[in-house]
Structure 1
């Protein structure tokens, strides 16, 4: 693997663990504790993206020389279709987790992101845009891309998806992350354009955040109604 790819991986994981350095710095700057995650996350993700894009300049410059890429028009269609494919895969994975394995619905990672964004709204740029770009570069282009040539699609997608889930520290939803990872890997293989899974990934994250903020009250009311219905029917059946 090219040396610059190793540097990209190092920068990405250094960014992930850079929060260890945040506490003394933000304390010295007298930043409110509720803003720490959003402020540090925004600056660290943005800096990581800049550095990684600089390292990817040879790939960006030579992208037109690689064969097998779909046309721009087809890429747009794949990106739109990929959004629905990713949501379908997620719904199927959620259904399997909840109905067969009894895993509670709802992601702690998503809840954490929403909570951070409430305190620092500008962090939404990271969650919806910068994060997906970095993740697709690291997990699809580099990790999956290197493994794909050696082990084939299934094993490469499985390994990259498991690492993808591990980074999000959401091990109870491995199936969901794997389903999403397989979908994005498939989009990348079929189109040979990294921008396609990036767009699908950004769209998913953006919609989740939009729903959580715009329809938060309606969601809480719906959850209350469902709890009430379960209590009523539970009383009848007990």
Structure 2
């Protein structure tokens, strides 16, 4: 009875947000509303646990969107992707085994990240198309919402298996070698920065690839003129939240479940490549895939997420510092 009440509440919330989305024009607000709608429909599908029931419930909940006077492609494509995501969540929830992480959990998390990004992009099409670099509120919404989304996906996976606390304790446990792991992470972060800078330079000069940076401080120069809370929030999102969520998903869940089954070599390559693909920037696919492979090996050698998370955070921090020093 309690599950039914929660499902009904989520269904109502999804409908309200869908109707709000159909009548919102501000790009920043659209990002928040669209993400809230995705979270609500995903949670609804998780509770229902049946793909067809989830698809039907989401279809009805988003009636306010597909009956709205926006362009047909906008009002149908977005609900369709939401239904696909809901069906996948319901299917995964039904087949996930209690207490046991499997490779499909990591693949599922990656697909969810991609689908949420597609949904947010489609939601922005409802209003006036606008570039991230020319709209500071939209840029802030995009970069501040992405890490929490990753954390929600990670918590959903670990929570469904009932292993949130054991997983965190096992992978982030502070022991006598804690400081050595931190030192290793800092050193490997510097190594990653050097390797990726080298690879980007080779792509640009030898391969003549026009590199498109993922760093918001590079392609949105207006950010450097905003100090205080805005800068702090962006740095926390990029340097703290994103590394923690991505290391849990791509190292702890995906790579950690792949290597006992596929062997070290294939696990390192596949998990690293998926990590590169998750950033959805083909010009940086090879450098970021190599970074993912380095992080996989760090996790494999230490059996701890502390050094890989520190290395990831160090690399992101150095990227922000370099961007700010050049632009200033």
**Common fold: TM-score over 0.5:** yes
* Residue number among 12, 19, 22 corresponding to 2:120 in the alignment: 19
> How do 1:199-214 and structure 2 match up within 5 A?
199-214=310-325
Cα 1:33–1:97 change in 2 (3 A) is closer
Provide the aligned length of Structure 1 versus Structure 2: 209
Unpaired segments ≥5 residues, structure 1 = 218-238
Deviating runs (4+, > 4 A) in structure 1?
Answer: 1-5, 10-15, 20-27, 62-65, 111-114
Cα 1:81–1:195 change in 2 (3 A) is same
User: Does the alignment pair 1:87 with 2:193?
Assistant: yes
Unpaired segments ≥5 residues, structure 2 = 1-95, 129-133
Rounded Cα–Cα distance in structure 1 between residues aligned with 2:221 and 2:302: 34
Q: Normalization by structure 1: what TM-score?
A: 0.70
Name which of structure 1's ranges 81-90 and 10-19 shifts more when overlaid on structure 2: 10-19
- Deviation string, structure 1 residues 126-159 (Cα, Å, up to 9, x no partner): 1222112111111111111222112222221221
> How do 1:1-238 and structure 2 match up within 5 A?
6=105, 9=109, 12-13=113-114, 15-17=116-118, 19-20=120-121, 23=124, 34-43=136-145, 45-46=147-148, 48-49=150-151, 52-53=154-155, 55=159, 56-63=164-171, 71-104=177-210, 106-111=211-216, 115=220, 118=223, 120-121=230-231, 122-217=233-328
Cα shift at 1:33: 5.0
Q: Identify which of structures 1 and 2 has the higher relative contact order when contacts are C-alpha pairs closer than 8 Å and 6+ apart.
A: 1
Q: What is the RMSD computed on CA atoms of the aligned residues?
A: 3.6
Q: Normalization by structure 2: what TM-score?
A: 0.53
Cα shift at 1:48: 4.5
Cα 1:24–1:207 change in 2 (3 A) is same
